Amino acid sequence: MAENMDLEKKNILVTGGAGFIGSYLCEKLLEGGARIICVDNFVTSQESNIDHLLKNPDFEFIRFDFTQPFDPEIFPELGRFKIKFQGIQEIYHLACPTSPKKFDQYKLQTLLANSLAVKNALDLAVRYHAKIMQASASVVYGPRLQDNASYKEEMFGSVDMLSPRACYDEGKRYAETMFETYRQVHGIETRIARIFRTYGPRMPLFDGQMIPDFITNALDNKDLVIYGDETFRTSIVYVSDAVDGMIKLMSAANDIGPVNIGSDLDMPLVDVAQRIIEMTGSTSRITFEPPLLFMSQLGLPDIAKAKEKLGWLPLVRLDEGLKRAIDYTIAHKSLVGFKLG
C-alpha cells in the first residue's frame, strides 16, 4: 500500500486551500517539496490567493464543495500525482466559511463544513491511511475568561450549542469529536491544531476582519472601525507563524493531542489600530460600532505545550507583521479595489 512506498514527494491534500491561511499553507508545503492538491469552493476564499501557485507542476487546484464525497482518482488533472498507486500521505482540513459580515448568510455552509466535510476528509484518511489534521479554533474553549487567564489544551471550555453562532463554535468542537472517534475506531493518525486569531496579507477586505480594513482605511485616511468598544482585547499571530505551527504539529512523531497555535500576547485592539495609523502616516480616526456576532473577544492561548512538544513559538513581531501586511496592500492596491490618497 502507499504508506510503505519510498516516496520522493508526498501527495498532500489541503481543503480550504485557497483561503487566507490555506494559501500560505499550500505555499509552504510546496517549498518543502510536496505535491499539493488544493480543494476549495470559493465561498469565503478567492482565486487570487493561489494565482501564483497555479503554474507550479506540483500544485493542482480543484474547485469542489467538500460537503460532497470527494474521490481524487476521478479527476484527470490529478493523473500526474498517481494517486491510485501512491495514495495521499497527508490531509490538512481547513475548509470552513470564516466571514464576520456574512456569517448569517453562510450558517448552513458552516454547519455542513463542520460535519459532512469533516466526515468526507476523515473517510479519505481512512481510505489512503493518511495522516490528517483538523484546523480547529480557539472558539472550542468558549468566551474569554473573566480574569483574562489563558486556556490550556486540557481545559474543556463552555459553548452554548443553541447560540446564534453555534454552527461555528459548537461545530468546531463536534469536528474534534469526529477526529478523535475516527482515531479510536480506525486507528488513523490525527492531529488537532487549535488556531487562534491570525492576521497577515491576503485576508479578505471589508469583511469585518478589522485588521485588513484598518490598513486599507488608514491608507485612504478613512475612519478605522472597531466593532466593539475601547475594551476590545485580542491576541493575534502572524499567518506564517500559524502555518509553521501546523506543519510542525503534522510532522510530530507521535499524537500529542490538541495544540494551541497562537500568540499569548494580549493587547487592546485600539492599540493595534493606532499603530497602523502611525505606520502609514495616516490622518484617520478610530471609531466604534456595535459588535459583530462572529468578531468577538476570544480566549487567550497557553502555548507552553507547543513550545515544549514542537519547539514552536511565534517569531514575527507585531510591527514586522503589520509592515508586511501594509506593504502587500500598497503593492496590490489595484487588485483590492481602493484608492490611496
12/306 Cα distance (integer angstroms): 23
Local structure of residue 222 (DSSP, 8 states): P
CA-angle at 250, arms to 245 and 255, nearest 5°? 110
Task: Report residue 305 as a C-alpha cell.
Answer: 505545550
Task: Report residue 182 as a C-alpha cell.
Answer: 475516527
Residues ≥6 apart with Cβ < 8 Å to 222 = 284
Of 186, 39, 176, whose CA–CA distance to 118 is shortest?
Answer: 176
Active site residue 168: yes
Catalytic residue among 141, 168, 174, 227: 168
CA 329 to mean position of chain CA atoms? 20
Rounded to 10 degrees, what is the CA torsion of 145, 118, 208, 152?
20
Contact 310, 246 (CB under 8 A): no
Residue 214 burial (CB count, 10 A) = 28
Of 257, 338, 237, whose CA–CA distance to 305 is shortest?
Answer: 257
Contact 279, 155 (CB under 8 A): no
State the catalytic residues: 168
